[in-house]
């Protein structure tokens, strides 16, 4: 049995050291990591994945800490992936050594990992999806993905999470206005954290007004449901209660106030996903997006190798500068061998069908 096979066997047997090693291989993109992830795939599909995003200062880490503690009190196991900003020098997580998950220190059934965003949109690296699979295969009941909170690009979180919660701090009209730029559309749940501070009521009101403006829009969370109505009911004239109604929950994560209600809303959303069949649709879209991403990455790697084999890109750049050729012609020329191989293989397969 190879070392990687032993590693997978130990991970599936519930050994946290093996889980940590697998995620390290995934994050570092070590040789053989793809085979590891492929081996884990058959054991996934059981965990609930929750995305926590929102503007900096909204209290995401504190809320995630309290969420994990509450799930553990219920006897559920938890995995947390915190996406931190990338160091411009090392590519590593610059906040990776910070003190987090304070109330869960020493609890082996809360697995915490800080990962580098590596410049990926929304603070989510491609490795995050694979790390979630590792936690899922390990048997974690809940997996929480906390993003860095970098603005509208947080939409990337929906590629990983079943349910997305957007946190908004109270008393900041600018933060609510920022949601108009794109984050508003991805929320399945809105959380006004630090609700004991001045301005919380106004923030809730502004969020409610903004969401109600979407009543005629096909944007209900990241599922694209048709109806939205905060506070109960739908505006569906046929009376079909198919659309998820993203609620607004108030929490004080530091004291734990409102956390139980928040987790209840998350559970309601998961139940809605199952009852409506949206869970299956969501998973299908997620895998389609993942396959496209991998194809883009693999194709880019092949083309980079082809460019290097031809002596590098600089010569083409110089030819373009001298008006001897143009970027489109260069791209066609470099892609041609790859396209030719694909075409010949397809024709060969067609001869035997």
Token code pair at residue 66: 């309290």
Quote the CA–CA distance of 131 and 278 in Å, as a whole number: 24
Both tokens of 29, joined, read 């993109």
Q: How far is CA 236 from CA 140, 150, 229, 347, in A?
A: 37, 34, 10, 50
Secondary structure E strands in 147-232: 163-168, 189-192
How does DSSP assign 283-337, residue by residue?
A: HHHHHHHHHHHHHHHHHHHHHHHHHHHTT-SHHHHHHHHTTSS-HHHHHHHHHHH
pLDDT for residue 58: 83
Q: What is the per-residue pLDDT for 245?
A: 79
112: left (phi over 0), alpha (psi -120 to 50) or beta: beta
CB 259 within 8 A of CB 253: yes
CB atoms under 10 Å from CB of 172, counted, come to 17
245-to-51, 190, 261 alpha-carbon distances in Å = 17, 11, 16
Backbone phi, psi, residue 306, to 5° = -65, -40
- Phi then psi for residue 75, to 5 deg, are 90, 10
- Write down the pLDDT at residue 170: 84
Q: 55 in the Ramachandran plot: left (φ > 0), alpha (ψ -120 to 50) or beta?
A: beta
Contact of 105 with 13, CB cutoff 8 Å = no
Separation between Cα atoms, residue 292 and residue 299, nearest integer Å:
10
Smallest CA-to-CA distance from 185 within 220, 235, 148 is with 220
> What kind and span of H or E run contains 27?
helix 16-28
Phi and psi torsions of 189, nearest 5°? -145, 135
Coil, strand or helix: which one is 93? strand
Which CATH number, 3.40.50.740, 3.40.50.300, 3.40.640.10, 3.40.50.1220, labels domain 43-275?
A: 3.40.50.300
pLDDT in tens, 168-186: 888 755 556 666 556 667 8
Contact 1, 39 (CB under 8 A): no
| Residue 206 pLDDT | 82
| pLDDT of amino acid 99 | 43
Does residue 302 contact residue 339 with C-beta atoms inside 8 Å? no
With beta carbons less than 8 A apart as the criterion, state whether 39 and 133 touch. Answer: no
pTM for this model (two decimals): 0.83
Q: What angle do CA 91, 93, 95 make, to 5 degrees?
A: 145
Looking at residue 159, what is its pLDDT?
75
Tell me the domain boundaries of the chain: 43-275, 290-350
- Strand, coil or helix: 351: coil
Give pLDDT tens digits for 36-79: 999 999 999 999 999 998 877 788 999 999 999 999 999 999 99
- Confidence at residue 175, expressed as pLDDT on a 0 to 100 scale: 57
Collect the ranges in the chain with pLDDT lower than 70.
85-107, 117-125, 149-155, 172-184, 214-242, 352-353
| C-alpha to C-alpha distance for 158 and 201, rounded to whole angstroms | 28
Nearest to 124 by CA among 51, 38, 209: 51
């Amino acid at each position: 049995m190879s070392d990687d096979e032993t590693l997978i066997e130990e991970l599936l047997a519930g050994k946290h050291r093996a889980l940590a090693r697998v995620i390290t291989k995934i994050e570092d993109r070590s040789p053989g990591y793809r085979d590891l992830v492929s081996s884990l795939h058959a054991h996934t599909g059981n965990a609930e994945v929750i995305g926590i995003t929102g503007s900096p200062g909204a209290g995401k880490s504190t809320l995630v800490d309290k969420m994990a503690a509450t799930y553990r009190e219920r006897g559920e196991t938890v995995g947390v992936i915190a996406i931190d900003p990338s160091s411009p020098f090392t590519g590593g997580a610059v906040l990776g050594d910070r003190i987090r998950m304070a109330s869960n220190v020493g609890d082996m059934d809360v697995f915490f990992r800080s990962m580098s965003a590596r410049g990926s949109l929304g603070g989510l690296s491609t490795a995050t999806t694979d790390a979630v699979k590792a936690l899922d295969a390990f048997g974690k009941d809940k997996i929480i993905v906390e993003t860095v909170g970098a603005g509208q690009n947080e939409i990337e979180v929906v590629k990983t999470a079943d349910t997305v919660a957007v946190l908004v701090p109270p008393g900041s009209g600018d933060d609510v206005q920022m949601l108009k730029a794109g984050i508003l559309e991805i929320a399945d749940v809105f959380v006004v954290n630090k609700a004991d501070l001045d301005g919380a009521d106004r923030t809730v009101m502004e969020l409610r007004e903004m969401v109600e403006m979407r009543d005629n829009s096909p944007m209900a969370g990241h599922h694209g449901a048709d109806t939205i109505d905060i506070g109960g009911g739908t505006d569906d004239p046929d009376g079909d209660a198919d659309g998820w109604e993203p609620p607004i929950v108030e929490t004080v994560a530091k004291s734990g106030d409102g956390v139980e209600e928040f987790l209840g809303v998350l559970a309601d959303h998961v139940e809605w996903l199952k009852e409506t069949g949206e869970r299956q649709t969501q998973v299908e879209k997620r895998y389609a997006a993942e396959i496209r991403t991998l194809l883009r990455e693999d194709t880019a790697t092949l083309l980079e190798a082809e460019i290097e084999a031809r002596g590098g890109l600089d010569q083409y750049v110089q030819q373009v500068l001298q008006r001897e050729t143009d970027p489109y012609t260069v791209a066609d020329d470099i892609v041609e061998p790859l396209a030719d191989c694909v075409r010949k293989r397809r024709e060969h397969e067609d001869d035997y069908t």
